Structure 1
Amino acid sequence: MYQAREMRVLGMNVGKILAVVCILIGIVLVGCVSEISTKPDETPESQPVKTQTRGPRGSYENPASIKETVVVRTLSGTFEITVLDCIRGEKAYQVIKASNMFNPDPDQGFEYLLVKVRFKYALGKASQYVSAYCFEAYCDGTGYSPAFVVLPKDMPDFKDVNLIPEGMVEGWIAFIVPQGKDILIAYEYIFEPVCFIKI
């Protein structure tokens, strides 16, 4: 009697398992039969409409000016960045060479650019590391990192620091950039430029 009952229970379980397997096989077969088209719709090509839109102040499309503060909001906090002053060309070269005769000469077609930057950690919750290498000088789509030079004592360099909210650092950064070209100084956050200031 127990054997008959066990066989009946076993038979019902096997039936359920077979039903589930059949349903799964059916789903797989239906999935294999369907086709996904990657061919684009055939519609007549339209010409893009060009509009003159300017991004927010401090963006690549609408860079800020010298002595204009740019407010940058990131996941780490809110920063205020200002280029306070700049020296370039022959005057910058004389400053660099007078500071240390071993400072390198720029390559042909390039010149020194000295930029005085203020960085303020306006709002946030944790410390924020900032250095001269958080900035790049962009010209014709190419970024130039800070040059390794010795600056004069009366022009303190931009220090590598950890800031907490309300902390601020200010100093000079030297770049070697193409001669006589428009330059954008960019602050980079997580290796991406997030604000631009035109020199």
Structure 2
Amino acid sequence: MKFYYKLLIFTLLLLLPALACGSDSPSTSTSSSSTSIDTEQETQIEDQEEVEADEETEQISESTDTPANDPEPTSEPTATPLPPTPTPLPIGHSRSNPYPISEIVNAPNWDVQVLEIVKGEEAWQAIQSANQFNEPPKEGMEYILVKLYVKSTYTDDEAHTIGSSDFRVTGDQYIRYSSASVVEPEPQLDAELFTDGESEGWVAFEVTGGETNLILIVDELFNFDEDRLRFIELEEGSHINIPENLVSIQPTDLGVERSSPAPFGETVLTEEWEITITEVIKGDDALVMVQDANQFNEPPEEGLEYIAVKVLIRYIGTDDESDSIDGSFFKSTGDASVIYDLPSVVDPEPALNIDLFPGGETEGWIIVQSAIDETGMKLIFEPIFDFSGDNKRFISIEP
């Protein structure tokens, strides 16, 4: 019996280690499972952290590439191209660069040379001696006499005339003077020549007293080519430039509408002209002025009256060429809404009849007409060949 007890105890003792190992196995399994889960969670966390880190890196990269608060880059400013410098005209083709005095000039169809110049009182004495009916120069003016040599260079077989009407003079008053209405001293320049024919003679001009920078203009009367003009010094060193301030003068709308004419005495600015009315004389006084101007001037038609208007004019064009102006640029109108043509009379002196270069200025009389005692009278200024209408203005002639 004791043996069985001993055998049973011995068996139990043998089984105890096995039972102990059996109890450890489930514990190890649980721990392993727990460790596996923890590892998986850690891996997921690490993956999540890596994703978040990647996203953060991308955000930083994007933030670095395009800063949210930085301004958009601006393009470099483009330099404004300068206008091309105009090519200077050849010598003798402009007032600013005339041929030297005494040089033989090969102008279109003619060779021309200045031989002698006489001015002022000496010129008047020579003109007075040439013809007793020659009148003295107007107030503020003086005569100059220019002796010229000419030679025909025409290539045809015809004879061609040349004389005082083929020449002009200009100076620092920016006026283009035609030859004077006098009989010149002998020999006068008045010839008809075949090719290679030569002549010489005097031409007279009436210019502003004391004017300087005098220049002779060769401008053959029946030559209409654009390149026909030639300029020759009449005084050593003479040259004339366009006044620089003309570029800044801009036209205004003053007087554009008939219903709102420019007030009397105010200056009107058009594309090419600056106009100011300085004096107005009406009725009988105007008639006396007209009759004194020329004995053949007739009174106005019945029901009409003359109006004498003194106008101050300046040419403000910027092209280096002259433009003429006279009374034909004007008409008159009033409250009766009738446009009155210019009367056929000789205007009082100084009459508005002149050829001006840019910057040239003059003041002269024109005669217009209206119905007797018509109110609201105004001048209509409209250059003859201004087909655009840009220079048309209405100016009140009632102070």
- 1:62 to 2:97 alignment: yes
User: Which structure's CA Rg is the greater one?
Assistant: 2
Cα distance per residue 1:51-100 (max 9 Å; x no partner) = 7x653232223212332111124xxxx42111111101111112222333
Q: Does 1 or 2 have the higher relative contact order (CA < 8 Å, sep 6+)?
A: 1
Measured in 1, the distance between the counterparts of 2:129 and 2:91 equals: 37
Cα pair distance change 1:45/1:129, threshold 3 Å: farther
- 1:108 to 2:143 alignment: no
Q: TM-score, normalised by structure 1?
A: 0.65
Measured in 2, the distance between the counterparts of 1:141 and 1:178 equals: 10
Cα distance per residue 1:171-190 (max 9 Å; x no partner) = 00011011222221111132
Cα distance per residue 1:104-149 (max 9 Å; x no partner) = 1112221101000111013512322322101111234321111122
Cα pair distance change 1:48/1:108, threshold 3 Å: farther
Q: TM-score, normalised by structure 2?
A: 0.34
Alignment of 1:10-25 (within 5 A): none
Consecutive unaligned residues in structure 1, runs of 5 or more:
1-42
Measured in 2, the distance between the counterparts of 1:119 and 1:126 equals: 18
- 1:141 to 2:171 alignment: no
Measured in 2, the distance between the counterparts of 1:93 and 1:50 equals: 45
Letter in 2 for 1:93: W
Note if contact 2:106-2:112 (Cα within 8 Å) is conserved in structure 1.
Answer: yes
Aligned residues: CA RMSD:
2.5
Residue among 168, 174, 179 paired with 2:198: 168
Aligned partner of 2:245 in structure 1 is none
Q: How many residues align?
A: 149
Alignment of 1:22-33 (within 5 A): none
Note if contact 1:54-1:62 (Cα within 8 Å) is conserved in structure 2.
Answer: no
Higher strand share goes to which structure? 1
Note if contact 2:162-2:189 (Cα within 8 Å) is conserved in structure 1.
Answer: no
Measured in 2, the distance between the counterparts of 1:105 and 1:138 equals: 20
- 1:93 to 2:128 alignment: no
